[in-house]
Amino acid sequence: MAMTMTQKILAAAAGLPSVEAGQLIEAELDMVLGNDITSPVAINEFERCGADSVFDKGKIALVLDHFSPNKDIKAAQQCKQTREFANKYDILNFFDVGQMGIEHALLPEKGLVGPGSCVIGADSHTCTYGALGAFSTGVGSTDMAAAMITGKAWFKVPSAIQVVLTGRPTGFVSGKDVILHLIGEIGVDGALYQSLEFCGEGVAALSMDDRFTIANMAIEAGAKNGIFPVDEKTLAYCEGRYQGEVKVFQPDPDAVYERTVTIDLGALKPTVSMPHLPENTRTIGEVADVKIDQSVIGSCTNGRISDMRVAAEILKGKKVAKGVRCIVIPATQEVYLQCVKEGLVEIFIEAGAVFSTPTCGPCLGGYMGILAEGERAVSTTNRNFVGRMGHPESEVVLASPAVAAASAVTGYLTDPAAL
């Protein structure tokens, strides 16, 4: 039976010769992930079940990244509960303040996920690891609890959409522009419970950071997961880093796809998503006189070192516009340290930006940049729903780091090529 890349990984994880779309399977898991918001709920369920052990202390990752360092008493209690659970069961991959980073940047960086692995996380953007050729998807906290006990999860095998990438991106076009363009084309439910499977000669033109960004936002098109083929760039990223066995799966030539979408990377322009849905996309040239109050550069979508570098390139020698708050958040401690070594922190501070500890922070309206009534932010995050970053009458425009940095300088949504 012909299978897609995702279907082959799921078949292997389920110990089956083949699977087909719609089939219910039980799969062995290579990693189970939770954060400081979702882990406490899972821990409560774990204890309610009467469990007294985890399936594998090396295949669970707990990352305190959303509200830590603790923003309030409730956050402190959640982190304490997760910390105590990690200590009790000797969870090897526990990341607290000083070691933690934003979970979906941290796990690949630490080599905890890799090609061919089957991963679930109690966070919707767990689909990020598809950039490495893994099957990874978000689940609820009760599923996380069951997985910590059994090391298994039930899945309905998804059908797939083939996304063929051609050409090479030009100018300031990045992975963020690619995924925003795709979501704008197919809609926020255009891939509902389907796998977005990227292929084509254009894949080779994308950096690993671009691929992480694209896979990260697969969920914003309703997808079960997003996945890239394993190539030389993938293997180079994993070399000396990935702790597991590299397993390369290729789709069959006659694999069945629900539809095929072709994107010419060379034809793309910097793209933004206007409020209040990621599908509400425009190219930067189609928006004018859109004033901003805040620019956020960071998140699990765009907080990697390449994102920091392009933002610094644009901000160097310039100043953040009067009345604009520019918040720069590296995704991990490693990215933070690299920013220090390369002098990027100095550039941000001299421009009038603030440089934060790694945190999800403002992305989900947590802290470090909450919007007031009537305010508008341009942000490199992944969602711009009503009230996502604060007051229900505030607005979030999704954009690349280049656009967010350029807009911070002018105070309006701005094409970085115009500076």
What band does 375 get if pLDDT is binned at 50, 70 and 90? very high
Question: Residue 333: its pLDDT value, please?
Answer: 97
Which of 263, 282, 304 finishes a domain? 263
pLDDT at 164 over 90: yes
pLDDT at 1 over 90: no
Could you read off the pLDDT of 217-232 as tens digits, one per residue? 999 999 999 999 999 9
* Residue 110 CB neighbours (<10 A): 19
Which of 235, 263, 291 finishes a domain? 263
* Residue 313 CB neighbours (<10 A): 15
pLDDT at 174 over 90: yes
Q: Single out the residue of 257, 337, 328 nearest to residue 295, CA to CA.
A: 328
If asked whether residues 33 and 182 sit together in one domain, one would say yes
What band does 46 get if pLDDT is binned at 50, 70 and 90? very high
If asked whether residues 256 and 325 sit together in one domain, one would say no
If asked whether residues 104 and 192 sit together in one domain, one would say yes
Mean pLDDT value across residues 168-184: 97
pLDDT at 68 over 90: no
Question: Residue 179: its pLDDT value, please?
Answer: 98
If asked whether residues 240 and 279 sit together in one domain, one would say no
Question: Residue 288: its pLDDT value, please?
Answer: 85
Could you read off the pLDDT of 75-109 as tens digits, one per residue? 999 999 999 999 999 999 999 999 999 999 999 99
If asked whether residues 340 and 232 sit together in one domain, one would say no
In angstroms, the Cα distances linking 327 to 214, 222, 303, 330 are 22, 29, 12, 10
Q: Single out the residue of 78, 58, 62, 81 nearest to residue 70, CA to CA.
A: 78
CATH of the domain at 327: 3.30.499.10
Alpha helices in 159-231 (DSSP H): 175-186, 208-216
Could you read off the pLDDT of 322-351 as tens digits, one per residue? 999 999 999 999 999 999 999 999 999 999
Could you read off the pLDDT of 106-122 as tens digits, one per residue? 999 999 999 999 999 99
Could you read off the pLDDT of 192-211 as tens digits, one per residue? 999 999 999 999 999 999 99
If asked whether residues 323 and 247 sit together in one domain, one would say no
Which of 231, 263, 295 finishes a domain? 263
Query: Is the backbone of residue 82 left (phi > 0), alpha (psi -120 to 50) or beta?
Result: alpha
Asked if 127 contacts 216 with a C-beta cutoff of 8 angstroms, the reply is yes
Asked if the structure places residue 98 within a domain, the reply is: yes
Range of the domain at 411: 272-418
